[in-house]
């Protein structure tokens, strides 16, 4: 995927498509060569988080920086888990329900939050996310937030990790295709227009608030579903998955991969989640690996990891540096 | 109490536009350094606090030069660097110090009685130090040459450069001061509530609440926002219990922000 990230030539589209196809084939074959159950587990978690971060990036296309994404994931996860556990419903019904509840909350806060801009939006949504986390604690009777929710019904009965691997790969692909179609539709163009200048966009008859709420709803739905499948895959939930640190890390995944490109969150999540696991023998020192990745990327690659091929090309030609994308935050 | 923690963060953010997410971690490290000198090495507590301030402030100089200056005006990448720093600092303290809670002994033990309420002297000192630091910062900004230069930089970068102000030097000074303030807060709070490697996150949140509620670009706003948030934190648990009080407090802040999108005393940022 990363080879295709910055290609702009005529053959770029074909190259991108074939690179995606190649990646999917490699991912399909991977479980045949990996015997470690743990590594497959890591891959599954990565698939789920790719959906979450890709939906986060879709929201940022409209120039909003919501720092409450982990909280929305929590809404989806806890809704689905608690409803299916308390009422004995099938997870296949409650996961979409979790997605719709997250979407409803997104719409509910979307309209008032459309008043806020740039930094204030980011910060107020951060407070909102932490408020949501506290609500989980208040509903401790159902969510068991303090000691962790266990005994959530499984998604697939009697399935092995490999079954789950293929299921979640399909799930991630489906969600990514949907988000891709959304971003490169007419709506996506409108969203980019709003991000560039909300005043010009409103002057040509685009309802800014409507589209900002729409994209928030879409992003929240996908992350809610991701939270739901996570709950039924892992079968336990604990609150640190959904707190401020988790939100910031999701944002890190997007930024490291490259916020300006659709492939960004995919690459970023994959690198930051899988690479540190390969250094597991270092035990307590593993976070240093993560920090090293952050520093290398942020100092050497202004556009994130997807900007790497372009950077290499420009070094090759001796044209000097590629300019960074100024962050609208 | 919150004022003393948030002041450094707000100072750096208002003046240089640097959103130092690592402020909480720096505050935590300062507390640990003070603990090391004061308890493990048995130095006088005030001396160890001064040492901690000196070490952390010089770390601030390093931070500005190598971590903030390359990304001037790019909040996204500054944030990535800060998260990296947080990871490094927390992991280092975690490995060296262990995860369990430690406490710096009180700087001044004892209680003071004022009518029906009794307060520990430690709390009074923390409050006074916070107030003095805030007043000193406002004085510094208003009345000294360096402070006025910083104001100029925050108001109009190009204009300040054209007037011959060394922006990098102002920014380095601001960073050193901010880290110094974080360190004072870390030492005092370490004595008040104890130290853990992950205590920075909570304080970072409080600092963010303060700065956003007070409004970007307003140091006076921090004082009032600090009083409001402190008051909310103290009074809400009387009415609703535990986590609900946090949720209600955050809800109130969010509601206020929706009615005043630029904070109580802030200016508009685009």
B96 touches chain A (CB under 8 A): no
- Asked if the model's pLDDT at residue A329 lies above 60, the reply is no
User: Please, are residues A170 and A50 in contact by the beta-carbon 8 Å criterion?
Assistant: no
Task: Give per-residue pLDDT as tens, A56-67.
Answer: 888 888 878 888
Q: Apex CA A78: angle with CA B257 and CA B258, to 5°?
A: 10
Task: Give per-residue pLDDT as tens, B43-93.
Answer: 777 888 888 888 888 888 888 877 777 777 677 788 888 888 888 888 888
Candidate from A44-53, A238-247, B152-161 with smallest mean pLDDT: B152-161
Partner residue opposite A137 with nearest CB, options B74, B81, B243: B243
**Total residue count of chain B as it appears in this document:** 270
Complex prediction ipTM: 0.78
Partner residue opposite B247 with nearest CB, options A138, A140, A251: A138
Distance from CA of A208 to the nearest CA of B (A): 16
Bridge partners (DSSP) listed for residue B118: B113
CA atoms within 13 A on the CB side of A250: 31
Do B250 and A127 make contact, defined as CB atoms within 8 angstroms? Answer: yes
- pTM, entire model: 0.82
Element (DSSP H or E) covering residue B111: strand B111-114
Do A134 and B247 make contact, defined as CB atoms within 8 angstroms? Answer: yes
User: Please, are residues B12 and B171 in contact by the beta-carbon 8 Å criterion?
Assistant: no
d(CA A161, CA A167): 10
For the stretch A137-174, what's the b/e string if a residue is b when 16 or more beta carbons lie within 10 angstroms of its beta carbon?
bbeeeebbbeeebeebbebeeeeebeebbebbbebbbe
- Give me the mean pLDDT over the B234-259 stretch: 77
User: Please, are residues A322 and A310 in contact by the beta-carbon 8 Å criterion?
Assistant: yes
β-pairing, B117-120 vs B111-114, is: antiparallel
d(CA A19, CA A16): 5
CA atoms within 13 A on the CB side of A94: 27
Q: Which pLDDT score, from 0 to 100, does residue B108 have? A: 61
Bridge partners (DSSP) listed for residue B120: B111
Bridge partners (DSSP) listed for residue B113: B118
CA dihedral A222, A225, A229, A234 (to 10 degrees): 90
Do A113 and B258 make contact, defined as CB atoms within 8 angstroms? Answer: yes
Task: Give per-residue pLDDT as tens, A51-98.
Answer: 988 998 888 888 788 888 888 998 988 888 888 888 878 888 888 888
List alpha helices for A184-262, DSSP H: 186-196, 198-203, 208-234, 244-257
Alpha-carbon distances of B57 from A5, B199, B203, rounded to whole Å:
41, 20, 19
- Give me the mean pLDDT over the A154-165 stretch: 79
């Amino acid at each position: 995927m990363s080879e295709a990230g910055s290609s702009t030539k005529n053959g770029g589209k074909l190259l991108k498509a074939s690179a995606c196809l190649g990646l999917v084939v490699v991912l399909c074959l991977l479980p045949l060569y990996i015997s470690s159950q743990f590594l497959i587990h890591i891959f599954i978690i990565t698939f789920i988080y790719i959906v979450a971060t890709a939906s986060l990036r879709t929201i940022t296309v409209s120039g909003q920086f919501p720092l409450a994404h982990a909280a929305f994931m929590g809404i989806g996860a806890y809704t689905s888990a608690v409803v299916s556990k308390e009422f004995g419903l099938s997870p296949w019904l409650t996961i979409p329900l979790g997605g719709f509840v997250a979407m409803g909350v997104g719409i509910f806060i979307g309209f008032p939050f459309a008043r806020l801009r740039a930094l204030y939006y980011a910060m107020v949504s951060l407070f909102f996310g932490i408020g949501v986390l506290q609500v989980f604690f208040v509903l401790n009777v159902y969510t068991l937030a303090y000691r962790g929710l266990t005994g959530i019904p499984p998604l697939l009965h009697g399935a092995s990790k490999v079954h789950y691997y293929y299921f979640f790969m399909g799930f991630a692909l489906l969600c990514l295709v949907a988000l891709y179609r959304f971003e490169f539709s007419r709506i996506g163009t409108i969203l980019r227009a709003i991000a560039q200048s909300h005043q010009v966009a409103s002057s040509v008859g685009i309802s800014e608030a409507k589209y900002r709420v729409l994209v928030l709803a879409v992003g929240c739905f996908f992350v809610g579903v991701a939270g739901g499948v996570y709950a039924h895959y892992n079968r336990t939930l604990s609150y640190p998955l959904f707190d401020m640190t988790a939100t910031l890390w999701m944002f890190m995944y997007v930024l490291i991969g490259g916020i300006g490109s659709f492939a960004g969150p995919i690459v970023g999540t994959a690198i930051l989640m899988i690479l540190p696991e390969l250094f597991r023998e270092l035990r307590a020192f593993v976070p240093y690996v993560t920090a090293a990745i952050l520093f290398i990327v942020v100092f050497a690659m202004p556009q994130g990891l997807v900007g790497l091929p372009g950077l290499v090309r420009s070094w090759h030609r001796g044209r000097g540096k590629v300019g960074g994308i100024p962050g609208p935050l | 109490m919150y004022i003393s923690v948030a002041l450094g963060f707000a100072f750096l953010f208002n003046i240089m536009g640097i959103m130092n997410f690592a402020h909480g971690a720096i505050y935590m490290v300062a507390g640990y350094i003070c603990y090391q000198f004061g308890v493990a090495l048995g130095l006088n507590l005030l001396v160890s606090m001064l040492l901690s301030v000196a070490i952390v402030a010089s770390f601030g100089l390093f931070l500005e030069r190598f971590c903030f200056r390359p990304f001037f005006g790019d909040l996204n990448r500054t944030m990535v660097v800060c998260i990296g720093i947080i990871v490094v600092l927390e992991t280092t303290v975690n490995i060296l110090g262990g995860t369990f809670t430690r406490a710096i002994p009180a700087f001044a033990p004892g209680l003071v009685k004022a009518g029906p309420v009794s307060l520990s002297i430690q709390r009074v000192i923390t409050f006074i130090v916070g107030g003095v630091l805030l007043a000193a910062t406002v004085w510094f900004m208003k009345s000294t040459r360096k402070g006025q230069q910083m104001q100029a930089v925050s108001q109009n970068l190009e204009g300040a450069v054209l007037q011959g102000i060394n922006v990098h030097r102002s920014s380095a000074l601001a960073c050193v001061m901010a880290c110094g303030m974080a360190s004072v807060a870390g030492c005092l709070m370490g004595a008040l509530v104890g130290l853990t490697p992950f205590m920075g996150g909570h304080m970072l949140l409080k600092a963010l609440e303060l700065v956003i509620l007070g409004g970007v670009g307003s140091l006076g706003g921090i004082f009032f926002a600090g009083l409001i948030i402190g008051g909310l934190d103290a009074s809400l648990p009387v009415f609703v219990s535990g986590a609900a009080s946090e949720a209600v407090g955050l809800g109130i802040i969010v509601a206020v922000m929706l009615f005043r999108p630029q904070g109580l005393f802030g200016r508009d940022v685009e």
